[in-house]
């Protein structure tokens, strides 16, 4: 069974660091789960972020254009 280590633990094989995902024998797994040292790890499918839809020219709102000041020419 795969478990995720929550607290660091020193074993005869060395340190099991916080955040490590390890596969252990059932006896050790039960012990870690009961003591709150680890939680059961379930693999989740990664969800991709939705990309924003590109805005096309047809969908864009018309922009106001800056025009030359015509009143100054007549003076």
The verdict on residue 15 lying in a domain is yes
Asked if residue 28 is part of any domain, the answer here is: yes
Q: Please report whether residue 49 resides in a domain.
A: no
SS3 of the chain: the string is CEEEECCCEEECCEEECCCCEEECCHHHHHHHHHHCCEEECCCCCCCCCCCCCCCCCCCCCCCCCCCCCHHHCCC
Domain count within the chain: 1
Q: What is the pLDDT of residue 64?
A: 77
Q: How many CA atoms lie within 13 A of 22 on its CB side?
A: 21
Domain of residue 26, residue span: 2-40
Mean pLDDT in consecutive groups of 10 residues from the start of the chain, 75 residues? 92 91 92 94 75 74 71 57
Residue 9 lies in a domain: yes
In-domain check, residue 47: no
The pLDDT score that the predictor gives to residue 70 is: 61
40 contacts 20 by C-beta, under 8 angstroms: no
């Amino acid at each position: 069974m795969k478990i995720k280590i929550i607290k660091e633990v020193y074993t005869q094989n060395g340190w099991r660091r916080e955040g490590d995902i390890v596969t252990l024998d059932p006896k050790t797994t039960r012990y870690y789960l009961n003591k709150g040292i680890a939680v059961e790890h379930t693999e989740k499918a990664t969800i991709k972020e939705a990309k924003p839809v590109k805005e096309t020219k047809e969908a864009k709102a018309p922009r106001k254009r800056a025009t030359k000041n015509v009143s100054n020419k007549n003076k």
